[in-house]
Amino acid sequence: MAKLQPVRGTHDLLGEDARRHRHVVETALGTAARYGFSEIQTPIFEFTEVFARTLGETSDVVSKEMYTFEDRGGDRVTLRPEGTAGVARAFISEGLTQDLPLKLFYQGPMFRYERPQKGRQRQFHQIGVELLGVPAPQADIEVITVGADILDALGIFDGIILELNTLGDTESRGAYRTALVAYLMDHRDGLSEDSLRRLEVNPLRILDSKDEGDRAIVANAPSFGDYLNEASRDFYGTVKEGLDTVGIPYRQNDRLVRGLDYYCHTAYEFVTDKLGAQGTVMAGGRYDGLVETMGGPSTPGVGWAAGIERIAMMIDAPAAPARPVAVIPVGAEATITAIKLSHDLRKSGLAVEMGYSGNLGKRMKRANKLGASHAVILGETELEKGVATVRDLDTGSQTEVALDRIGDHLKAGS
């Protein structure tokens, strides 16, 4: 029989990895809560149409990367490749239009069939925020700021740069798209196969192509800034002024785009050079047309998502859990007393490990292997006296302590 292994592109979270993961989630959740974001948990799978509509039928995610299957009832469902579509679906199906503005935080696993590499797995985890119902640039400022504060609270903001761009409003975007297509048509002989396909359906995506030939052509492409109308320039100016006010530095990246038509105005990414090729830590933008694209009412929105695995690789290792106390009964009669004592100590706030089997020597070895600070030994002699022998496993010293005083004794010595 073949040895069982995790599926390629998945991994188990254990020990320090699990502590890092939890620390990222808890820090992000706590920081977002101070901004008024409440938590939402959407299903791990949705009807395929939820993602096909929002990500675009021709996108790489939909055409190459989604885990899509037919369930036993004949419905086509997809494991979620990202979080925003599920939040938008919940906004529509749960009738949340009366709750606007709506500020939501999510976290959990996502799934994409990609080539696994450092910081990118087929099952990966994200945190994210979405702010729905606010058309003003103040929403963009707040969403970017909460992201920066999360990275700062995790101790990694100093090694990260915010890249910023504007896609303008519908009018500006349309004017730019026309100019970009005209430019690219003059250079189509040098475009990659993927970019030629995108030229027909999603030309803005060519701007962030990784193909070297495409990048050389794009380097001289028109700039979004030259096609912004006054309203779009004012919107972007307010966003930058707000970031300046709260002290978040940024750099302009004219090639930072979002390819789908429901995106507008601000696009941004927090990037680093500490993760190799996978330099994006957190990415987002404004998507005023998304909810309407999904069949809901016209609803402005802005948000971001961040990969937990990538962030976890950058943070300092969280503190290990408190050292436990080992309660070691010797003999059958001491076992029930040890169970009650362990329960009482845990209720008092101490971490306790029970020595289940083996002689005293083996149980003491296990206590040392667990990193226990003390061993509480209960034998026949101790039971007769109503005490336990408490041994400090660092110094080797030991003393007899009354059973009802052990918790106080251990806390006093911690």
d(Cα 116, Cα 126) in Å, to the nearest integer?
A: 16
The answer to whether residues 364 and 408 belong to one domain is yes
Contact 330, 380 (CB under 8 A): yes
Write down the pLDDT at residue 207.
Answer: 85
The answer to whether residues 160 and 255 belong to one domain is yes
**Is residue 131 one of the residues assigned to a domain?**
yes
d(Cα 39, Cα 23) in Å, to the nearest integer?
A: 16
Gyration radius from the chain CA atoms: 28
**Is residue 196 one of the residues assigned to a domain?**
no
Task: Check whether 188 is labelled as a binding-site residue.
Answer: no
Cross-strand pairs, 107: 127
pLDDT in tens, 333-346: 899 999 999 999 99
Rounded to an integer, the average pLDDT of 285-291 is: 94
Largest separation between any pair of C-alpha atoms in the chain: 95
d(Cα 238, Cα 180) in Å, to the nearest integer?
A: 26
Which positions ≥6 away from 168 have C-beta within 8 Å?
Answer: 176, 224, 227, 228, 229, 232, 236, 264, 265
Helix axes 332-347, 406-413, angle to 10 degrees: 60
Going by pLDDT thresholds of 50, 70 and 90, the confidence category of residue 2 is: low
Listed residues 253, 283, 314: the one ending a domain: 314
Q: Domain containing 391 — which CATH number?
A: 3.40.50.800
Task: Check whether 34 is labelled as a binding-site residue.
Answer: no
Which positions ≥6 away from 56 have C-beta within 8 Å?
Answer: 62, 201, 202, 259, 260
**Who wins on pLDDT, 47 or 206?**
47
The parent domain of residue 370 ranges over 325-413
Task: Check whether 250 is labelled as a binding-site residue.
Answer: no
SS3 state at 256: coil
Which positions ≥6 away from 362 have C-beta within 8 Å?
Answer: none
Task: Check whether 67 is labelled as a binding-site residue.
Answer: no
Q: Helices (DSSP H) in 304-331: which residue ranges?
A: 308-314
Q: Domain containing 156 — which CATH number?
A: 3.30.930.10
**Is residue 161 one of the residues assigned to a domain?**
yes
Going by pLDDT thresholds of 50, 70 and 90, the confidence category of residue 247 is: very high
Which positions ≥6 away from 82 have C-beta within 8 Å?
Answer: 51, 55, 61, 110, 126, 305
pLDDT in tens, 345-365: 999 999 999 877 777 888 888
Task: Check whether 83 is labelled as a binding-site residue.
Answer: yes
Write down the pLDDT at residue 277.
Answer: 62
The answer to whether residues 126 and 270 belong to one domain is yes
Listed residues 314, 338, 360: the one ending a domain: 314
Task: Check whether 262 is labelled as a binding-site residue.
Answer: yes
pLDDT above 60 (res 216): yes
Q: Is 19 exposed, middle or buried (0-12, 13-18, 19+ CB in 10 A)?
A: middle
How many domains in the chain? 2
In 258-347, DSSP assigns E strands to 264-271, 280-286, 301-307, 325-329
pLDDT in tens, 12-41: 999 999 999 999 999 999 999 999 999 999
Rounded to an integer, the average pLDDT of 401-405 is: 94
Please provide the size of the chain in residues: 414
Nearest Cα residue to 195 out of 178, 215, 177, 224 = 215
The answer to whether residues 162 and 289 belong to one domain is yes
The answer to whether residues 376 and 260 belong to one domain is no
Mean pLDDT of the chain: 91
What distance lies between CA 405 and its chain's CA centroid? 44
**Is residue 212 one of the residues assigned to a domain?**
no
DSSP letter for 117, please. B
Q: What percentage of the chain exceeds 70 in pLDDT?
A: 96
pLDDT above 80 (res 325): yes
pTM, whole model, 2 decimals? Answer: 0.89
What is the CB neighbour count within 10 angstroms for residue 229? 13
Write down the pLDDT at residue 58.
Answer: 55
Measure the CA angle with vertex 152, ends 150 and 155; round to 5°.
115
**Is residue 155 one of the residues assigned to a domain?**
yes
**Is residue 201 one of the residues assigned to a domain?**
no
The answer to whether residues 236 and 310 belong to one domain is yes
Contact 46, 77 (CB under 8 A): yes
Task: Check whether 126 is labelled as a binding-site residue.
Answer: yes
The answer to whether residues 266 and 245 belong to one domain is yes
**Is residue 180 one of the residues assigned to a domain?**
no
What is the CB neighbour count within 10 angstroms for residue 386? 11
**Is residue 209 one of the residues assigned to a domain?**
no
Going by pLDDT thresholds of 50, 70 and 90, the confidence category of residue 96 is: very high
pLDDT in tens, 131-184: 999 999 999 999 999 999 999 999 999 989 999 999 999 899 889 989 999 999
Task: Check whether 258 is labelled as a binding-site residue.
Answer: yes
Write down the pLDDT at residue 406.
Answer: 95
Write down the pLDDT at residue 278.
Answer: 58
Q: What percentage of the chain exceeds 90 in pLDDT?
A: 71
The answer to whether residues 303 and 164 belong to one domain is yes
The answer to whether residues 241 and 358 belong to one domain is no
Rounded to an integer, the average pLDDT of 403-413 is: 90
The answer to whether residues 159 and 251 belong to one domain is yes
Task: Check whether 82 is labelled as a binding-site residue.
Answer: yes
d(Cα 144, Cα 163) in Å, to the nearest integer?
A: 11
The answer to whether residues 235 and 357 belong to one domain is no
pLDDT in tens, 192-213: 988 888 888 788 888 878 888 8
Going by pLDDT thresholds of 50, 70 and 90, the confidence category of residue 60 is: low
- Asked which of 141-145, 366-370, 385-389 is least confident by mean pLDDT, the reply is 366-370
Q: Is 166 exposed, middle or buried (0-12, 13-18, 19+ CB in 10 A)?
A: buried
The answer to whether residues 270 and 384 belong to one domain is no
Listed residues 314, 349, 383: the one ending a domain: 314
